[in-house]
Amino acid sequence: MADDQHEEVSKKVSAEEEIRRGITVMRRVVQGRSRGIILDVYWNNQGQLIEPNGHTLTSFIGALVRNEIPITCDDWRNKELNESKEKIWSEIKRCFNIEEERRGFCMKLAGKLLRGFRTFLSSKFLKDADGNFVDAELPKKYESLISAEEWEAFKSKRQDPVFQRISATNRERASSPAYPYRKGRVGYGRLEQSMLQKEESSETSLPAHVLWKEARVGKSGVPQEEVLHVYQKCEELSQSLSPDDTKGILSWALDVPEYSGRVRGKGFGVTPTSLSIKKGKAPSNRELHARLEAMQAELDALRREREASASTVYRDASDKESINCTFQPNIPEGISHCQLYLSSPYYRMVGKGKVHNVSGVLLHTRELPAGCLKVSVDIAVEPNAALPYPSDDSDATMVHEAVGSFVAWPTNLICVGYETPTKSKSKDNAIPRHTESTVSRKELQENEVSNASAQQKKEVSNASARVKSSGSKKTVVRKKTTTKYRSCLRTFLEMTDIPTGGVRTLHMEVGIFGFDYDQMIGNEDFMQVFSHEEIGVNVVNTYIRFLYDKLMRPNGLDVSFGFLAPATVNLVLILSRPDTVTEYVLRILMDNKDAEKLFFIPFNTGGHWLLLAINPIREIVYYLDSLGNDWTTYPDMKVLIDTVLQAFRAQRDIQTSRRGANSITWIKVACPQQRNQIDCGYFMLRFMRDTLALGRLKIPPDYFEEFKCAFYTKDQVDEIKEEWCQFMLELNVCS
C-alpha cells in the first residue's frame, strides 16, 4: 500500500505517553476518537466494505499492520502473531463502530495489506529499473517501523534462490493479463456501490460479469473488444446456467482453471458461502434405484390409463395451438387481458397486464412506435427483464418498474388471455419410459441405444445416396418415426440433477461457427424437444453439431457448406450492435474466400426462426421462411447482409460496374410451410438437413423436388427430435 496516503506521527513519545495514547497512526482518526467520534462503517449484502469510511478503515488497518507485524513474517497464520492480531483488532474497535463478526474480514484484509507492503518495499528499494537486485540500506522513512535486523533478514529472504524462482514465476504470470483490471485501488465492492448510485437503482447487487466488465473500462470509457466478447458470452450463458452453479458464469465464459472457493467478478471478501452457493451432491446408487422403482410404478399407472382410454385419438402435433412471437395474433378491439413476452435472448413470458387495442390511442401524449400497442403492466413475472420500449416519462426500464403504468409493447409479443394455449394432454400421448428397474443406468443406456443406433446412423449418413438413387419427384418414403430415443433420454435425464437446475456442456469446435466454445444445455432445452415447444438457440446449436458430425464431416461436405452462429447473427444484435455482426460474418466469409461455399444462417427475428443460405462467391442469398414472409419483412437484416457481401467483394478486389455494384441476388424459396405457430425451428432445421442430404450448393426457388411438400408431417418433425435425442445419448450428455 502507498504510505504517502497514511499520516503517521514522527514525534518521539515516552513509554507512559504511548500507553496512555495508544498507537499513533492516522491522526484524523485518532484525534476524532479522543473527542468521542467513533466512525461508522458499512457493508454490502455480500459482506464487502463500502463507503462511507470504507477507504478510511482500509488505510487504518494498513497502518496498524505495518506497526505491529514484522516484515519478516511469511506465514500470516502463525500462532505467534495472535497477540499482535488481537492488538490490531482492539485498536480497530476503539476507532470504528464495527461488529465482532467482522473480525475475520478485517484480519484477512490485514494479511493482504502486509503482503502488499512487502511487495512495495522489494520493488521500490531492492530492485533497479531492470529488475535486478540492489543491496540497499534501510530507508530512513521506515526506520520507526523496521529494525536493522529485520531489514537484513528481509533482504536475505529476497535473495534466496527458491524465493526468486517462485517470484519470477508469479511475476511472469501476472505480467501480461488478458483482461487487466483498470480501476486502481477501487475494489469491486465500492465499484458496485458507485454504479448502483449512479444508476439510482433500487437493486442491492449487480451480476458478476457486469462488474467484471466495468472494472476493465479505462479512462476512455470504452471497453476493449475482448472484454465485450466475454461479456456477451456471459449474457448468453446467464439464460441457461443455474443461479446456484458453483463455477459461475464468468468461469464458464473465460474457460480458465479455477480453485475451490473462488468467486470471479466480485472481489475481496466474497466467497461461495457469502453468496449462499451450495454444491449439489451426486445421488447414490440406492437413490438411483429408488427413483427407477418410482418411475416403474408411474409407468404401470400410465399404462393402465392408456389401456382404459385406448379409443382416444392422438392429436397431431401440427395442430397444436400455441404462439409464435412473430405470428401476428388476433387481438380484439378494446381492452383485453394479455400475457407479455420477450424474445431475446430466448422466448419467454415476463409479465401480465391489459392490452389497449383502441384506434387513435396515445402513450403519454405521444404516438406509439410502429408495430406496438399500448399495454398496462399488472404483474411482473420476470421483474428484472428489460422493457422492449423503456418509458421516457416514468424512467422505467424494467418490467417491475412499469407495474401500474402504461408502456408500448410489440404486437407480436402480446398473447391475449392469461393462459397460454397448450396441447391437450391425451393419455395416449404419455411418453413411455424404460421399466427395467433392476439394471444399472449404464446398462440401461447401452441396451436402449445399441438396439437401433447402427440402423439410425446408417439412415442418416446415407440420406444423400437414398435420395439420389430414387430418381423420383415424390417425397422420399420414410418409416414412421418412433419415440424410443426421446423416451430413453428422458429416463436418463430424470436420474440427474438437470431437472433441478443442473447444466451440461457440449463442446463446439472451431470448424462449426469459426470459434470454439462450450455450449450450455439445461432442462429447459430438453423439455422443448420432449414437449414439442418452440425451440431455442441451444437446441439449434446442438442440432447443428449433429449435422456437422454426422452429415458434413463424414461425407466431406465441410469444404462446401458452413454455419454462422445464430447467437451472433440475429435481428436483435443487428439492431443493437450491427458492427459486431458485420465483423463476424465478414471474417467467416474471408476465411473461406478461395472456394465456393454455401453458408447456413439460422436466423432468429425475435422469436421466429427462418433460414438464410448465402453463397458469397456468387452473391446469392436464399431465403427460406416457413411462415411465407419475404425479406422485406426484415429490412435491417437485408441491409446488413448486402453490406457484408459488398465488403466481401471489395476485399477480394472484384471489379464490377456501377450498375452491378448492388446486384446481389435474393431468392425466396417456396419451402414447406408450417401449419401452426411453433414449428418454425424444426422446419428451419429440416431445411438445412435436406440441403446437406442432397449436397447441392443451389437451392431451387420451388425447393428440392426430392423433398417438395406443402408442409412437413408430424413424423418428419419427430425425426428431427429423434436425431437430436439420439445424438445427446451418443455423446452421453446426461452423465
Distance CA 606, CA 679 (A): 15
Total residues belonging to the chain: 735
The pLDDT tens digits for 444-457 are: 444 444 444 444 44
pLDDT value of position 544: 96
Rounded CA-CA distance 49/696 in Å is 63
Closest among 194, 200, 216 to 264, alpha carbons compared: 216
Are the C-beta atoms of residues 571 and 634 closer than 8 Å to each other?
yes
What angle, 0 to 180 degrees and rounded to 10, lies between the N-to-C axes of helices 523-530 and 484-493?
150
Share of the chain residues as helix, strand and coil, in percent rounded to the nearest 5: 45, 10, 40
pLDDT confidence of 656, banded at 50, 70, 90?
A: low
CA distances from 311 to 148, 304, 314, 428, 575 (A): 97, 13, 9, 9, 51
pLDDT digits (tens, 9 = 90+) for 343-377: 776 667 888 888 888 877 777 677 888 888 889 88
Per-chain mean pLDDT for the chain:
78
Residue 244 · residue 277 · CB < 8 Å: yes
Distance CA 699, CA 628 (A): 16
Residue 405 pLDDT: 84
Dihedral of the CA atoms 247, 252, 254, 260 (nearest 10)? 20
Is residue 427 within 8 Å of residue 478, measured between CB atoms?
no
C-alpha cell at position 392: 421516457
Could you tell me the three cell numbers for 335?
Answer: 381492452
Residue whose cell numbers read 476524532: 32
Q: Is 278 helix (H, G, I), strand (E, B) or coil?
A: coil
Tell the residue number behind the cell numbers 382410454, with chain if given: 309
Which range is least confidently modeled, 168-177, 310-319, 357-366, 453-462?
310-319
| C-alpha–C-alpha distance, residues 237 and 250, integer Å | 9
Taking alpha carbons only, the member of 562, 588, 674 closest to residue 629 is 674
Chain mean position to CA 441: 31
CA 132 – CA 123 distance, rounded (Å): 10
User: Is the model's pLDDT at 686 over the cut of 90?
Assistant: yes
Comparison of pLDDT for 688 and 308, the residue scoring more = 688
d(CA 57, CA 49): 9
* Cell numbers at 283, concatenated: 445421488
Helix H or strand E segment including 89: helix 82-95
Of 603 and 9, the structure prediction assigns the larger pLDDT to 603
Q: Which residue has the higher pLDDT, 255 or 327?
A: 255
Percent of the chain with pLDDT over 70: 76
More confident residue, 205 or 459: 205
Q: What are phi and psi of 336, to 5 degrees?
A: -135, 150
CB 706 within 8 A of CB 467: yes
Q: Is the pLDDT assigned to residue 506 strictly greater than 80?
A: yes
Distance CA 410, CA 370 (A): 8
Predicted pLDDT at 205 = 82
CA angle 278, 279, 284 (to 5 degrees): 130
Contacts 24+ apart (CB under 8 A), 284-291: 285/440, 288/441, 288/495, 289/437, 291/494, 291/495
Cell of 265: 467478478
Q: Kindly report the backbone phi and psi dihedral angles of residue 710, in degrees, each rounded to the nearest multiple of 5, phi listed first.
A: -70, -35
Cβ atoms of 27 and 85 within 8 Å: the answer is no
Distance CA 571, CA 377 (A): 25
Q: Residue 382 to residues 47, 347, 385, 429, 582: CA-CA distances in angstroms?
A: 27, 12, 6, 31, 32
Grid cell of 350 as nine digits:
415476463
pLDDT digits (tens, 9 = 90+) for 600-618: 999 998 889 999 999 999 9
User: Helix H segments across 161-207?
Assistant: 161-175, 188-199
- At 248-269, the pLDDT tens digits run 778 778 877 666 667 788 888 8
Q: Is the pLDDT of residue 479 over 80?
A: no
What is the edge-to-edge ordering of all strands in the sheet holding 334-342?
406-410, 372-380, 348-357, 334-342, 414-416
Question: What is residue 304's predicted lDDT score, i.e. its pLDDT?
Answer: 64
Give the full edge-to-edge strand order of the sheet including 620-624.
561-563, 598-604, 609-615, 620-624, 665-668
CA atoms of 187 and 447, how far apart (whole Å): 55
Q: What's the pLDDT score for residue 615?
A: 95
For residue 105, the number of C-alpha atoms closer than 13 Å in the C-beta half-sphere is 24
Q: Which amino acid is at 290?
A: A
Query: Is the distance from CB of 402 to CB of 377 less than 8 angstroms?
Result: yes
Handedness of CA 134, 138, 141, 146 (dihedral sign): positive
Which of residues 12 and 309 earns the better pLDDT score?
Answer: 309
pLDDT at 103: 92
Half-sphere exposure of 473 (CA within 13 A, CB side): 2
pLDDT at 416: 80
Burial class (CB in 10 A: 0-12, 13-18, 19+), 269: buried
pLDDT, tens digit, 9 for 90 and up, residues 13-30: 333 333 333 334 577 787
Cβ proximity of 351 and 399 under 8 Å? yes
**Dihedral sign, Cα of residue 179, residue 180, residue 185, residue 186:** negative
As a whole number, mean pLDDT of residues 220-244 equals: 75
**CA of residue 665 relative to chain centroid, distance:** 36
* Residue 429 reports pLDDT greater than 60: no
Instruction: Return the pLDDT at 249.
Output: 77
Global pTM reads 0.42
**Higher pLDDT, residue 287 or 610:** 610
What is the per-residue pLDDT for 638? 92
Task: Give 328's pLDDT tier (boundaries 50, 70, 90).
Answer: very low
Instruction: Look up residue 25 and give its three cell numbers.
Output: 497512526
pLDDT score recorded for residue 626: 94
Backbone conformation region of residue 184, classed left if phi is above 0, alpha if psi is from -120 to 50, else beta: left
Residues 6+ apart with CB under 8 A from 382: 342, 348, 349, 350, 351, 399
- Kindly state the average pLDDT of the residues 327-356: 77
- Using CA of residue 80, residue 81, residue 85, residue 87, what is the dihedral sign? positive
Lowest mean pLDDT across 70-74, 417-421, 430-434, 655-659:
430-434
Q: State the Rg of the chain over Cα.
A: 32
Q: Which of 98-102, 386-390, 620-624 has the lowest mean pLDDT?
A: 386-390
Quickly state the pLDDT bin for 335 (edges 50, 70, 90).
confident
Cell of 307: 389401456
Asked whether the predicted pLDDT for residue 134 surpasses 90, the reply is: no
Residue 67: CA count within 13 A, CB half-sphere: 19
- Quote the cell numbers at residue 185: 485501488
d(CA 495, CA 625): 38
- When pLDDT is cut at 50, 70 and 90, the band that residue 86 belongs to is very high
The pLDDT of residue 461: 46
For the ranges 93-97, 434-438, 470-474, which has the lowest average pLDDT?
A: 434-438
CA distance 212 to 235: 12
E strands in 457-576: 503-508, 517-522, 561-563
Per-residue pLDDT of 537-593, as tens digits, reads 999 999 999 999 999 998 899 999 999 999 999 998 898 888 889 999 999 999 998
Task: Please enumerate, as own/partner, the contacts of 222-229 that have beta carbons within 8 Å and a separation of 24 or more.
Answer: 224/179, 226/178, 226/179, 227/179, 228/580
410 by Cβ neighbours in 10 Å (0-12 / 13-18 / 19+) ranks as: buried
Which helix (H) or strand (E) is 410 found in, with range?
strand 406-410
